Amino acid sequence: MAKPENQDDQEYRARSAALRLLARREHSRLELTLKLRQRKLPGEIIEAVLDEYEQEGWLDDDRFADVYARQRMDLGYGPLRILGELQQRGVHQSPECLEAMTDEDWCQQAISLREKRFGLANLADDWDEKVRQARFLSRRGYSATQVERALEARED
């Protein structure tokens, strides 16, 4: 017969699990909460542990948002997709690295992504290919204006 776990055991489990997860990569508070709930830990213990980790500076949604946004930008994702993914992870403000990017910077990133993936051929006569490339860039999170500018780009 298994003995029931007391409060200290569950708090220790919550602390150690949260610390192990944070040691691997940055997490948002929402992500960490969900992962600890999957381990069947009580909500009040989870909240107490995460509050303490925020005070210690080990858990920071702003830092998570900045790191996450930079990684996604490096992979060629656009601002709309990055902001949407951050909101799904419980971060509802735009990180500084996204704020620092101008619309022109995003257009250049979309152009370089198109060049890398498809080349910069003239698409005036090939409507199907133009639609295919536009759909790809849109799924990556670029605005309609940025997609349009990328599709107008030509090789020098």
Distance between CA 59 and CA 71 in Å, rounded? 18
pLDDT of 3 higher than 50: no
Q: Hey, do 7-58 and 102-152 end up sharing a CATH topology, with the first three levels equal?
A: yes
Q: In percent, how much of the chain has pLDDT > 90?
A: 84
**In 3D, which of 93, 15, 34, 85 has the Cα closest to residue 61?**
93
Spelled out in words, what is the top-level CATH class assigned to the domain 7-58? mainly alpha
Task: Name which residue leads in pLDDT, 5 or 99.
Answer: 99
Q: What value does the mean pLDDT take over residues 98-127?
A: 93
pLDDT of residue 77: 97
- Residue 143 pLDDT class (50, 70, 90 cuts): very high
All structural domains of the chain with their residue ranges: 7-58, 102-152
pLDDT of 4 higher than 60: no
**pTM of the predicted model, to two decimals?**
0.86
Residue 53 φ/ψ, nearest 5 degrees: -65, -35
Q: In percent, how much of the chain has pLDDT > 70?
A: 94
pLDDT of residue 72: 96
Spelled out in words, what is the top-level CATH class assigned to the domain 102-152? mainly alpha
For 74, the enclosing helix (H) or strand (E) is helix 61-74
Q: What value does the mean pLDDT take over residues 60-64?
A: 95
Q: What value does the mean pLDDT take over residues 50-61?
A: 94
Tokens 């971060």 correspond to what residue?
A: 91
Mean pLDDT for all residues in the chain: 92
